Chains A and B, each alone.
Chain A
Amino acid sequence: MGNYMGESIKRREDPRFIQGKGKYVANLHIPNMAHVAILRSPYAHARIRSINTDAAKALDGVIAVYTGQELIDGGVGKLPCGWNVPDIKVPDRWPLMVDRVRHVGDSVVAVVAESPYIAYDALELIEVDYEPLPVVIDARKTTEPGVPLVHDEIPDNISYAWALGNKDETEQAFASAEHVVELELINQRLIPNAMEPRAAVAQWDAYTEEMTLWTTSQNPHPIRLLLSAFTLGIPEQKLRVISPDVGGGFGSKIFHYPEEVIVPWIAREINRPVKWVCSRSESYLTDSHGRDHVTVARLALKKDGTFTGLHVQTWSNQGAYLSTFAPLIPTALYITLLSGLYKIPAIWGEMWGTLTNTVPVDAYRGAGRPEASYLVERLVDIAAQELGMDPVELRRKNFIPADEFPYQTPVAFLYDSGDYHRLFDKALGMFGYDALRESQKAAREQGRLVGIGVAGCIEASGPAPSQVAGALGAAVGFWESAVIRVHPTGKATVLTGSHSHGQGHETTFAQVVADQLGMDINDVEIVHGDTGRVPFGMGTYGSRSGCVGGSALVRAAEKVRAKAIKIAAHQMEAAEEDIVYDRTTGKLHVKGSPAHAKGFAEIAFAAYTAHNLPAGLEPGLEESAFYDPANFTFPNSCHISQVEIDRETGEVHIQHYTAVDDVGNVINPLVVEGQILGGIVQGIGQALTEAAVYDEAGQLLSGSMMDYAVPKAMLFPMFDVDRTVTPSPHNPLGVKGAGEMGTIAATVAIANAVMDALAPLGIRHLEMPLTASKLWHAIQGASGGNGMQATNETPLGGRDEPGDPANWPERQILSD
């Protein structure tokens, strides 16, 4: 009973997952179900001259074939952008494109057939006459003369421009700077690769005119809202959106995708259940990508290392269209984080959201915050190098002191709490920083390339409050809902607008409620991901579930307790203020008489029998809350790594990795540690292996798991992970959010280590991913080389050359 906060309880959802009973959308089977496949553009930019679907329609087993125009004629609307910064130009995006395609993978025709095999057969029979158009891929080149326009009505391919900070003070800071660090860097494009590909199943009830859509979403309510108000037109009360178990998202399943419109539209059109499951190849071309920034930055310092100003200009590649929350990421989640852990009196951040012939870019784990941390922490490391200071010493010199919280940065945010020195003390101690720096010296003397990388990172979790979000461009609020429905037997069903796609809410949220009400956790059931059962809620992203969704649960529980106290006071003939609600036992008693207690179940039963309630009190014990947080929370972290680069091959070996994170109070340490560990690997993926690679024609060359390196187990040692705790004063749980910190910090912790290893060679900065090929070339270039010309051009350190498999001879008879 009670006492569940901070306990490492094994996850209650796991028994179904480990036994193969996960309820993923693709597992759903409805009798008479038909299957959808989508024909996608093979061109990055082309005019559609004509589409001939006759042969596909004639194929046995094909039920119907639809073009974009037919969908528009059938009432579908444009996919909206849910974050509108001032003067933004939002390009038109239809569920199926009509006369022009703008990235490889853009959707063109939908086929519905008796089996997915037949649907794919039919795709091969569709003839589309494309007139290829010139393309633009690189954010830096979007405004160059002669570059094609992705959308004719958007000049210079600039969708929006945004800036924040104190410009004049920043200019003054640079005018009087004693030292300036300049850096141009790329935060490369990534592909999320949630292990579960997206999927959608729709069922239309022709009698009630109700639609049910099962979709792989992190936030089913906003999806229902967008479907209802913009794209599908079915009224919200007639539309039920269900996201059952979701197999990872990392941001990519926040957004409203074309298939979420196409699938229910077809289901209604043919009056049959319809299923679409994305193949991995399609997911590379259609799931929103992440990152993709080009940045020029300058940091102004005094000679003693004090930061005095920061100026940042970033070109953010938004892809061919604006995905649902695309403009949020490089604005209010990026520029606002440029202060890092530091007191920087003057910051001026400017960014441009550019359109290109690539897959749309939107939030990907961390979303803007990893880009900010990477930039700030690279600048700080280079500054330390240039000033001849230890990178830890330079960071400590500029930390916001623990006694200055709440701290107002020049870029909008009011940081809640933190103790960065204590954080670093702990991490450096665990890592054995001083000793490893000593042994690094010895290794360097032997010519070995050993590097130590430190990263001190800040995150803003749980976007809030709604009023501020609205002022920044949000078309939605950022509160969360909760309902605690106590049953007459004293058990509870809990409805939450947050939605787990791996986070473990069925455990952690049950811990919160059981702890608040003094219940047995096994008596608490968590329900989420279903607009038919749960009040409107905002879903899960931005490390918000604990701080916003969890806080909503606390607010609802407080109301339940208050009502229980009223009933107990009435029945025990005492004043309400004399009733003690013992959350460790779930019993209520009159102050001083613990022996004469009523159990929570007794009170619940009394609430429902309503035989003896205080005058005017409604029967029942069910309370709801809509919690709108007062502010973001600000998790912070110190990650330190040691790497050694194989001088001969350029391979990076990770030797030590220590992570200390302050995510505030912790509901379940096991779950929090899991989030951090997984986040670290995802962050290291960006540093070392992952990149979306486009060729000049806009073909995605890293378009499968054969060429896009999702990190494998063998790349890593065990990590040493721990926490410090400064509770957030911004929410009743004191939690700060743990979902993204690992990813935010790990990328730059590893990048800084690799660059530290290369520092003796005079190498200042290399772009990620830091592949063996790229590092070897850099080492060759730096040490005078061996006479061989470095020619690497792709982000992975290779060169895109002939090797077009289409030109290869027909494969031989046997396969292996």
Chain B
Amino acid sequence: MQVTMTVNGKSYTRDVEPRLLLVDFIRSELALTGTNIGCDTSQCGACTIHLNGKAVKSCTVFAVQAAGAELTTIEGLAGTGLHPMQQAFWDKHGLQCGYCTPGMIMTAVKLVERHGGTLSEEEIRHGLAGNLCRCTGYQNIVKAVQQAATEMGGGD
């Protein structure tokens, strides 16, 4: 069936099988491979994108469910240059192999937006429960989110 959605500000129409997962739509149909797949049980969060402004795991949504929706992937997070969260991950060495990083950043952006600049370390650690990283031990990720939270300010 035909679906149309806006991804990173651009409208796409594709004919898809109902069973096509949104993450495969993004990766295969749109060739936006920054959104990764790390598990098949909705645990790891590597596939996190923004769907109508909310962080969701795109491996657990069918593309047809997102018909008409606005999506942002890691490729479209920053207009130009780097989003403060991307910058913070770089500054604080919040990544090593980089595989969890796009999902981690997409979740962290919404975490900060939900809580604003007052986010505590504990809130960050719990807020990242849906994103697994095997390289960094999370320490520098937490520091990166703290830096970005300060820069992103009050939140919504």
Chain A residues packing against B (C-beta within 8 Å): 10-11, 13-22, 24, 26-27, 29, 117, 193-197, 245-248, 250, 277, 279-281, 501-504, 670-671, 673-675, 677-682, 704-706, 710, 712-714, 716, 718-719, 742
- Contact status A280-B39, CB under 8 Å: yes
Name which residue of chain B comes closest to A675, CB basis. Answer: B96
Across-interface contacts of A248 in B (CB, < 8 A): 96-97, 99, 134-135
- Contact status A18-B86, CB under 8 Å: yes
A280 to B40, CA, bound (A): 6
- Contact status A718-B82, CB under 8 Å: no
- Contact status B101-A674, CB under 8 Å: no
**Which of A195, A246, A250 lies in contact with B100, CB distance below 8 A?**
A195
Q: Which of B86-124 contact A (CB under 8 A)?
A: 86, 89-91, 93, 95-102, 105, 121-122, 124
- Contact status B137-A14, CB under 8 Å: no
- Contact status A705-B41, CB under 8 Å: yes
Known: A18-B74, A281-B40. 5 other contacts (CB 8 A): A194-B134, A196-B38, A245-B98, A248-B134, A682-B134
**Which of B36, B86, B96, B121 lies in contact with A24, CB distance below 8 A?**
B36
- Identify the stretch in B50-58, B63-71, B139-147 within 8 Å (CB) of chain A at 4 or more residues: B139-147
A713 to B121, CA, bound (A): 10
B10-29 to A contact mask, C-beta < 8 Å, 1/0: 00000001011000000110
Most buried by A among B97, B101, B102, B133: B97
- Contact status B35-A670, CB under 8 Å: no
- Contact status A195-B43, CB under 8 Å: no
**Which of B19, B34, B98, B128 lies in contact with A713, CB distance below 8 A?**
B128
A248 to B136, CA, bound (A): 11
- B125 CB, min distance to chain A CBs, angstroms: 4
A350 to B82, CA, bound (A): 55
Across-interface contacts of B41 in A (CB, < 8 A): 280-281, 704-706
Most buried by A among B20, B32, B135: B135
- Contact status A195-B40, CB under 8 Å: no
- Contact status B137-A196, CB under 8 Å: no
Q: A20-B75, A280-B41 are in contact. Are A195 and B99 (CB under 8 A)?
A: yes
- B31 CB, min distance to chain A CBs, angstroms: 7
- Contact status A677-B137, CB under 8 Å: yes
- Contact status A19-B34, CB under 8 Å: yes
Across-interface contacts of A17 in B (CB, < 8 A): 95, 98, 101-102
- Contact status B96-A678, CB under 8 Å: yes
For residue B7, CB closer than 8 A to chain A, the reply is no
- Contact status B100-A11, CB under 8 Å: no
Q: A20-B34, A117-B17, A196-B36 are in contact. Are A680 and B137 (CB under 8 A)?
A: yes
Across-interface contacts of B40 in A (CB, < 8 A): 279-281, 704
Q: A681-B138, A705-B39 are in contact. Are A18 and B99 (CB under 8 A)?
A: no
A246 to B135, CA, bound (A): 12
Across-interface contacts of B78 in A (CB, < 8 A): 19
Across-interface contacts of A279 in B (CB, < 8 A): 40
Across-interface contacts of A27 in B (CB, < 8 A): 27, 33
Name which residue of chain B comes closest to A192, CB basis. Answer: B134
- B149 CB, min distance to chain A CBs, angstroms: 15
Q: A15-B90, A503-B96 are in contact. Are A716 and B28 (CB under 8 A)?
A: no
- Contact status A195-B137, CB under 8 Å: no
Chain B residues packing against A (C-beta within 8 Å): 17, 19-20, 27-28, 31-41, 43-44, 46, 73-75, 78, 82, 86, 89-91, 93, 95-102, 105, 121-122, 124-126, 128-129, 131-142
Most buried by B among A21, A712, A713: A713
Q: A195-B44, A280-B38, A713-B129 are in contact. Are A18 and B95 (CB under 8 A)?
A: yes
A682 to B138, CA, bound (A): 11
- Contact status A29-B31, CB under 8 Å: yes
- B141 CB, min distance to chain A CBs, angstroms: 7
Q: A681-B137, A706-B43, A718-B139 are in contact. Are A22 and B99 (CB under 8 A)?
A: yes
Across-interface contacts of B35 in A (CB, < 8 A): 20
- Ordered nearest first, which 6 A-B pairs have the shortest CB separation? A20-B34, A17-B98, A247-B99, A502-B97, A681-B137, A20-B74
Across-interface contacts of A677 in B (CB, < 8 A): 136-137, 139-140
- A60 CB, min distance to chain B CBs, angstroms: 13
- A407 CB, min distance to chain B CBs, angstroms: 31
- Contact status A674-B96, CB under 8 Å: yes
- Contact status B137-A682, CB under 8 Å: yes
**Which of A280, A501, A713 lies in contact with B97, CB distance below 8 A?**
A501
- Contact status A705-B44, CB under 8 Å: yes
**A-B contacts, 14 listed (Cβ < 8 Å):** A10-B91, A14-B98, A18-B74, A18-B95, A20-B35, A22-B99, A22-B101, A196-B38, A245-B97, A280-B41, A674-B93, A675-B96, A705-B43, A713-B131
- Contact status B137-A679, CB under 8 Å: yes
A17 to B38, CA, bound (A): 15
- Contact status B138-A20, CB under 8 Å: no
A710 to B133, CA, bound (A): 9
- Contact status B125-A197, CB under 8 Å: no
**Which of B75, B82, B105, B132 lies in contact with A195, CB distance below 8 A?**
B132
A680 to B36, CA, bound (A): 25
Across-interface contacts of B137 in A (CB, < 8 A): 677-682, 716, 719, 742
- A687 CB, min distance to chain B CBs, angstroms: 14
A533 to B121, CA, bound (A): 45
**Which of B75, B90, B125 lies in contact with A10, CB distance below 8 A?**
B90
A504 to B135, CA, bound (A): 12
Across-interface contacts of B27 in A (CB, < 8 A): 27
Most buried by B among A21, A117, A247, A681: A247
Across-interface contacts of B46 in A (CB, < 8 A): 195
A673 to B139, CA, bound (A): 10
- A587 CB, min distance to chain B CBs, angstroms: 32
Name which residue of chain B comes closest to A671, CB basis. Answer: B93
A436 to B34, CA, bound (A): 46
**Which of B17, B75, B126 lies in contact with A19, CB distance below 8 A?**
B75
- Contact status B98-A13, CB under 8 Å: yes
Across-interface contacts of B102 in A (CB, < 8 A): 17-18, 20
Across-interface contacts of B105 in A (CB, < 8 A): 18
Name which residue of chain A comes closest to B121, CB basis. Answer: A718
- B53 CB, min distance to chain A CBs, angstroms: 19
Across-interface contacts of A13 in B (CB, < 8 A): 98
